[in-house]
Copies of this chain bind each other. A is one copy, B any other.
């Protein structure tokens, strides 16, 4: 039974990778760099984007694809940013999946003006497990981890931390009120992904968000060091 299950999973991931490559070709044809942004629920992906994209990135036109099980709460929040935003729900038609996959992203490509953007940020469903397993055609992966989630998360969800080039450590304005041991968190992160860039940020106070903006702009310009 387990062997059959593994085969089914392998086939699903194979099919996913085929569609991810097709997405990648479409993005390349339009000169669009793509960031897959992931986190646990409530870590602050949307808040960070609201903060980072409040002003245009110099020379980089951004679009956002919002992934959620259902609803349009996050895309409604981003509407005021004056960047193209499309909502992708996994519930109607995709079985309420806990992650985005390449086929879902493909279904949303028509909702995005690819010819008018340089960088597409795909905000994945809030989940530290399955989103890491599915490539969607992205160039780059980043994740948000909030200091309120505890130090042990890199060890408990290693695939997610291992698959990202950038870990945004969010809500650092709360550090004085928590028992969170940043040194221990970074030690765990080093154990699973010593190469990950890491940024201390607060979407609430704006601290560290300029560095994230520069990183986003570099991804959007497809600077070789990053991609």
Contacts and interface: CB of A to CB of B under 8 A. Distances in A.
**Residue of A9, A40, A42, A95 with most chain B CB atoms under a 10 A cut-off:** A42
* Interface size, A (range): 35 or more
**Residue of A128, A133, A174 with most chain B CB atoms under a 10 A cut-off:** A128
A71 B156 contact: yes
B73 A41 contact: no
A93 B127 contact: no
A5 B73 contact: no
Given A9-B95, A174-B148, A156 B68 contact: yes
A129 interface: yes
A149 B126 CA distance: 11
A69 B160 CA distance: 12
- Copies of this protein in the complex: 2
Contacts of A53: none
Interface in A165-185: 171, 173-174, 177-179
Contacts of A49: none
Contact of A40 (B2, B68, B96, B126): B126
A174 B155 CA distance: 25
B156 A98 contact: no
B9 A41 contact: no
13 contacts: A2-B95, A40-B40, A40-B41, A41-B128, A41-B157, A42-B148, A71-B156, A96-B133, A98-B127, A125-B129, A127-B129, A130-B130, A148-B171
